[in-house]
Amino acid sequence: MHRRQFIASASVAAIAAAAPRAAFAQADAASQLDTVLDAAFWGDMQLSPEWLTSAGLDDGRFAWARHAIDNYGEGGTKAQMVHAANMLDNMKRIPEAGLTQNKQTQRAVAIDMMEKRLLGSKFGLPSVGTPFVVEHRRGAYVSIPVMLDTTHPVETRDDAEAYLDRLDAFAGELDAETEYQKSQGARGYLPPAWSLEITATQIDALMAGKPAENDMVSSLATRAAEKGIEGDWAARAAQILESGVYPALARQSEAMRALKAETPAGDGIWRVPRGEEIYADALKLFTTTDLSPQEIHQIGLDQVAEIHAELDPLLKSAGLTEGPVGARIAELYKRPDQLYPNTPEGKAELLESLNSQTAAMMEKLPQAFNTLPTQPLEIRAVPEAIQDGASGGYYNRPSLDGSRPGIYWINLKDTANWPRFFLPALNYHEGVPGHHLHLSLMQQAEDLPLLLKNYFLSAYGEGWALYAEQVANELGGYTDIEQIGRLQSWLYRATRLVTDTGLHYKRWDLARATDYFQNTIGLTYDRSLGETQRYCVMPGQACSYKIGQNKWMELRARAERELGDKFVLGRFHDILLEGVMPLNLLDKRVDAFIARERGS
């Protein structure tokens, strides 16, 4: 969709929102649904100036957004909850009877979306999946510098002034966020002590050098110079950091260390008030199922055993015959022929290998997909300033208006974490046919409302990306030893089922969880520790990958079995164009696909 179409859509939404209720009531059910979904989307956007920029919609009547940042204080959370509750009420008022099957699906997904957003409200939390306001992976100190550097455009003088406005607002939002976390801490909702210490250390690192040497200053000055935008941008940005941002960062760092004395002992979510209830809801949020923690734990144990059995002969064929599977994988990580040098040159070579793999896979996609992504993909290293708290790899979708490509980030703090045999699986997961293909196709889907183009459900989306690693295998994307990496990727996610439920349900401590993770998968200790620390502050999210992949594999097998010669893989994969949905609804949509294909 082009920018002018977005602007037109925004105008329609504004008119619809202002229309009398009588006029709304007179519209047919499909028109009512479209109006409400548009209102939900544009309401979301106006509550998040940063999202407007990310989507490429911060121009015209939304040009103000480029000069603003999100509300990181308690007021921001409350506004989002009020908006979600209002939209949920409006969605439920629309009769399902007057809708086509496609519109019924969209209504069901949107209602589920709003209900999931509101799960945290009964506990007074921003979300049951990210229950802490500030921690070592989450907070304005993480998101604002990255947004300014990678999302905020610097093409004109106004863009540069807008950058300074956002930088100036950063200090106020840091303070609001700090007060919000302190108030939540008084209620017992604090990250573990080690997370608070990592958070403070990372904040300190942001202001370790002189303001004039900070990346937030150089990003603006460099890009303005490249565009020939005259002005003393570096000095002005440095002054804002010195007078406002650095003091606010120092206050937040000090507050995080002070809160260490107040945080409950332990590592899992069970340690906070109503922790068991929060975890149950977090599992529903992330897996979109009613599976209990014990059931998920057992699924994980069973699948770890199955994948270990598959890996054993492959490891033996690679000359690794002695010891547990995890220990043998760890040996493979140390082989010189599998390692890129941990140098700028080695990192550049690694990135080039990923780009070459992506190009080769793009050529093979027509064998399995009727519809191909049109959005470009860039592969970048995670900024050094946030490497310690960032995950190994993650993906940012393209802007809705097509002005910014999809970006797949890989954490290159230590290239030893990325041996050659494992990289293809990661690449296919984050790029094509994984996240980039999926989310690009959603944005290309003509019949999908903007609200649903901009949506992500972890069980569906992460499940798809893990399933996509198997599709890449079917397309010849792996060499012999890289099959070990493919199976290790699945083992990785099966182990997460055990580790996440171990931490939050069985009350394992961080040391036990890290030992289990490392010994089962064969990762380095530091990498395993980073993973388990992530699960502690994002309860349930780690379970979404394998539960989602299991469902995708199950549904494809069902379609192949029931359709026989009528099964066409590309047509099956076109279900992505319907947008993300809970797994129970995906199950029904695949049944509808089978019925349709059987009758065609």
Residue 22 lies in a domain: yes
Which letter does DSSP use for residue 128 in this model?
Answer: S
Q: Last residue of some domain: 265, 289, 317? A: 265
Is there a single domain that holds both residue 246 and residue 391?
no
Is there a single domain that holds both residue 21 and residue 155?
no
DSSP state string for 180-233: HHHHHHHTT----HHHHHHHHHHHHHHTSS-GGGSHHHHHHHHHHHHTT--S-H
Tell me the mean pLDDT in the region 458-469.
98
Tell me the mean pLDDT in the region 278-301.
98
Closest CA to 131 of 269, 293, 267: 269
**If phi over 0 gives left and psi between -120 and 50 gives alpha, with beta otherwise, what is residue 258?**
alpha
Residue 58 lies in a domain: no
Is there a single domain that holds both residue 121 and residue 174?
no
Is 12's pLDDT higher than 60?
A: no
pLDDT confidence of residue 527: 86
Is there a single domain that holds both residue 139 and residue 107?
no
Is 16's pLDDT higher than 80?
A: no
pLDDT confidence of residue 339: 96
24-64 pLDDT tens trace: 555 799 999 999 999 999 999 999 999 999 988 999 999 99
Is 23's pLDDT higher than 90?
A: no
Domain count across the chain = 3
Is there a single domain that holds both residue 326 and residue 450?
yes
pLDDT confidence of residue 25: 58
Q: How confident is the model at residue 389 (pLDDT cuts 50, 70, 90)?
A: low
At 96, the amino acid letter reads E
Whether the CB-CB separation of 181 and 259 falls below 8 Å is answered with: yes
Please give the C-alpha separations between residue 551 and each of 145, 464, 506, 548, 567, in angstroms, as whole numbers: 37, 9, 25, 5, 18
pLDDT confidence of residue 98: 86
User: Using CA atoms, how far apart are residues 204 and 252, in angstroms rounded to an integer?
Assistant: 10
| Distance from the Cα of residue 301 to its chain's centroid | 26
Is there a single domain that holds both residue 26 and residue 100?
yes
pLDDT confidence of residue 394: 86
Is there a single domain that holds both residue 432 and residue 359?
yes
Q: How confident is the model at residue 4 (pLDDT cuts 50, 70, 90)?
A: very low
Residue 271 lies in a domain: no
pLDDT confidence of residue 78: 97
Is 8's pLDDT higher than 60?
A: no
Q: Model's pTM, two decimal places? A: 0.92
Is 7's pLDDT higher than 60?
A: no
Residue 448 lies in a domain: yes
Is there a single domain that holds both residue 449 and residue 358?
yes
pLDDT confidence of residue 27: 77
**Residue whose structure tokens are 């899992």:** 268
Is there a single domain that holds both residue 257 and residue 339?
no
471-509 pLDDT tens trace: 999 999 999 999 999 999 999 999 999 999 999 999 999
Residue 327 lies in a domain: yes
345-371 pLDDT tens trace: 999 999 999 999 999 999 999 999 999
67-125 pLDDT tens trace: 999 999 999 999 999 999 999 999 999 999 989 999 999 999 999 999 999 999 999 99
pLDDT confidence of residue 13: 42
Q: Last residue of some domain: 547, 564, 590? A: 547
Is there a single domain that holds both residue 117 and residue 190?
no
Please give the C-alpha separations between residue 17 and each of 99, 381, 453, in angstroms, as whole numbers: 21, 42, 20
pLDDT confidence of residue 11: 40
Is there a single domain that holds both residue 286 and residue 403?
yes
Considering only residues 383 and 90, tell me which one the structure prediction assigns the higher pLDDT.
90
Name the CA dihedral angle for 252, 258, 259, 261, rounded to a multiple of 10 degrees. 170
Residue 80 lies in a domain: yes
Is 403's pLDDT higher than 70?
A: yes
pLDDT confidence of residue 400: 81
Q: Last residue of some domain: 209, 230, 265? A: 265
Is 407's pLDDT higher than 70?
A: yes
Burial of 104 (0-12, 13-18, 19+ CB in 10 A): middle
Q: Work out the mean pLDDT of the chain and round it to a whole number.
A: 93
Helix axes 101-117, 583-599, angle to 10 degrees: 170
537-559 pLDDT tens trace: 999 999 999 999 999 999 999 99
pLDDT confidence of residue 24: 56
Residue 569 lies in a domain: no
Burial of 145 (0-12, 13-18, 19+ CB in 10 A): buried
565-579 pLDDT tens trace: 999 999 999 999 999
pLDDT > 90: what percent of the chain? Answer: 88
pLDDT confidence of residue 238: 98
Is 19's pLDDT higher than 50?
A: no
Strand pairing of 393-396 and 406-410?
antiparallel
216-261 pLDDT tens trace: 999 999 999 999 999 999 999 999 999 999 999 999 999 999 999 9
Residue 589 lies in a domain: no
Is there a single domain that holds both residue 242 and residue 371?
no
Query: Which residues form the domain of 90?
Result: 1-47+74-128
